[in-house]
Amino acid sequence: MADAGEKKKEHQGKGGGEGKPKGGAKKGKGAATGEHDAGPRTPPRLKVLYDTEVRKKVGEQFGVKNPMAQPKLEKIVLNVNMGRHLDGTKIPPHVRQTIIDTLGTITGQKPVVVKAKKSVANFKLRAGFESSVMVTLRRDRMWHFLDRFIHLATPRIKDFRGLSDKAFDRQGNYSVGINEQGVFPEINMAEVEFTHGMNINFCFARSNPASTRFVLDALGMPFVKPEEGKQRSPKAEKK
């Protein structure tokens, strides 16, 4: 009987390691799901354009040869104000969810709901109330959004004649406003209950209004074109 018990224990000891992966298989998400790395990603084309061509033009135009001293696009911030939809102390759920879904679809990133820090009686706003929704884009997502904004969104603006070239602050940041979210092709206006605009801020480092204007223009930003020539006065035509 003792011999039979010892043989049973030896058999259990040998079979205890059958569930372990053989050959030193790697553990991880890719190994568990069977997914494989697709390889290096293609960098955004506007980032490649900025690094290969625009930097050189900035150095020639402003005499800044050091890349670390040249203007750099750090982030793009999108902001939608919900204050006009405020009903008592809360934002209607469908309004809140529509704005969040819109920014999430446009940017591919989860928005953040911002609460008011101060109370403003004229706007019927109290501290702690939800007032806006914002998204901050950096790195590749920032460049992809800029590409889509320049080449897909702006041509869809109604009666578009160019973006203002005067919306710069002292640090060289540029701001632009949009009246409706339908300018982005990702948004299906047939499924939207109401329209809303948004503010888009392009934040630069080590820049000024002239440098930012030059960089954005080189990247393809459709600014308002100056008048080709002043209209001749009736007196000049008679002469």
The domain that holds 175 is classified in CATH as 3.30.1440.10
Residue 85 lies in a domain: yes
Residue 201 lies in a domain: yes
Answer yes or no: are the C-beta atoms of 104 and 110 closer than 8 Å.
yes
Residue 236 lies in a domain: no
What local confidence, expressed as pLDDT, does residue 12 receive?
A: 52
Residues of the chain with pLDDT under 70: 1-40, 86-89, 227-239
What local confidence, expressed as pLDDT, does residue 37 receive?
A: 52
Domains in the chain, number: 1
Residue 232 lies in a domain: no
Answer yes or no: are the C-beta atoms of 58 and 206 closer than 8 Å.
no
Answer yes or no: are the C-beta atoms of 75 and 138 closer than 8 Å.
yes
* Tens digits of residue pLDDT in 76-89: 999 998 877 766 66
Say if strands 198-205 and 130-137 run parallel, antiparallel, or are unpaired: unpaired
Residue 65 lies in a domain: yes
Cα–Cα distance for residue pair 171/140, rounded to 1 Å: 23
Radius of gyration of the chain (CA): 28
State which residues form the domain around 186: 45-219
Residue 239 lies in a domain: no
Q: Which amino acid is at 146?
A: L
What local confidence, expressed as pLDDT, does residue 4 receive?
A: 53
What local confidence, expressed as pLDDT, does residue 130 receive?
A: 82
Please state the three-class secondary structure of 175-187 as a single string. EEEECCHHHCCCC
Give every CB contact of residue 1 below 8 A, 6+ residues apart in sequence: none
pTM (2 d.p.)? 0.75
What local confidence, expressed as pLDDT, does residue 27 receive?
A: 47
